Structure 1
């Protein structure tokens, strides 16, 4: 009878270990799935989480690493690019090494507006930004962006509720986005 108890205890112990390992594997898989979903959301202006950027505070246009880190956290971050920073003229040029049509025109247009608002809200001394793609180029000025949104850009970034209503919800409209490219 004692042998049966040892066998039973061994079996129960092994089963307990298997159950714990199964639960741990399930938890890890769930976390990986959630992380992958969050990463996908960061590629789209309509789902991008601007909170971590808003918490960073102002970045100087002369801070090359800060500018690179900022754009590395924005939509289009996965597209290869090179930067030209002209701190004296308060301008930034980003040369993307892809064709807009390969990414999707509507998505690129929306993401460029979003990236312009975020970058100008985060970089107080940035007055204009140009995005060059293979065969296409787009430019935005702080004045143009602030005129359309009707507010100082840092003020939009300061409130997540205001960001949602004033920026993200408006970017969902193709008509709204097209006014920047007319």
Structure 2
């Protein structure tokens, strides 16, 4: 009876070991690669204004553009491409984003990226009045007032209260390349830079 009991004990241990190996294989071979793939796709989506998750920028909201860490963090979290540096002018409530001119955005990518990023900046930085995107050879300025007129609203706070509102009012419209091109032509004007 002891030998039979010992044999059942060994079979039970072997069955548990096999079940553990199967579970380990499923986790390592299926679940973790799928999770890694989803995370990689999410990260890639953050580089496009059409797929960017605006909710991830909410913690950069600030009432004052003088909060440099939040303002720069906000712009770095937006789909703008490579940013070289920033210049802040609190006297005229303007932020200048100095982009890496060695890797410029194509017009079809630039137009929605600038519109999306400027809208997010005005929505999350309460006293910001203008944004300058400095590409090195040329700089473009957009104002809060012009964007409010473009969207036909009195303020941007309603856009960021709910991600669905942001998607409808801002993001989904950027899928239309003509809309983004027209917005860029009407809202973003050549300007002098604050500093380099």
- Normalising by structure 2, we get a TM-score of 0.81
Aligned partner of 1:31 in structure 2 is 35
Q: Which region of structure 1 is more displaced relative to structure 2, 151-160 or 82-91?
A: 151-160
Match of 2:161 among 158, 168, 175: 158
Between the aligned partners of 1:32 and 1:90, the Cα distance in structure 2 is 41
Aligned partner of 1:136 in structure 2 is 138
**Correspondence 1:98 to 2:80:** no
Helix, strand or coil: the match of 1:130?
A: strand
Match of 1:58 among 51, 62, 69: 62
Given that 2:130 and 2:142 are in contact with CA atoms closer than 8 Å, whether structure 1 keeps it comes out as yes
Q: Give aligned pairs, total.
A: 180
Given that 2:174 and 2:180 are in contact with CA atoms closer than 8 Å, whether structure 1 keeps it comes out as yes
Measure how far apart 1:99 and its partner are.
Answer: 4.2
Equivalent runs, 1:7-86 vs 2, <5 Å? 7-25=10-28, 26-54=30-58, 57-76=61-80, 79-86=82-89
Measure how far apart 1:48 and its partner are.
Answer: 1.0
Runs of 4+ in structure 1 over 6 Å off: none
Helix, strand or coil: the match of 1:58?
A: coil
Who wins on radius of gyration, i.e. which is larger?
2
Given that 2:134 and 2:140 are in contact with CA atoms closer than 8 Å, whether structure 1 keeps it comes out as yes
Between the aligned partners of 2:32 and 2:22, the Cα distance in structure 1 is 14
Aligned partner of 2:124 in structure 1 is 122
Query: Is there any run of 5+ residues in structure 2 with no aligned partner, and where?
Result: 186-196
Query: Is there any run of 5+ residues in structure 1 with no aligned partner, and where?
Result: none
Equivalent runs, 1:106-117 vs 2, <5 Å? 106-117=108-119
Q: Which region of structure 1 is more displaced relative to structure 2, 116-125 or 167-176?
A: 167-176
Q: Which region of structure 1 is more displaced relative to structure 2, 51-60 or 63-72?
A: 51-60
**Correspondence 1:180 to 2:183:** yes
- The 1:100/1:138 distance shift into structure 2, 3 A limit, reads farther
**Correspondence 1:170 to 2:163:** no
Q: Which region of structure 1 is more displaced relative to structure 2, 108-117 or 47-56?
A: 47-56
Q: CA RMSD for the aligned pairs?
A: 2.1
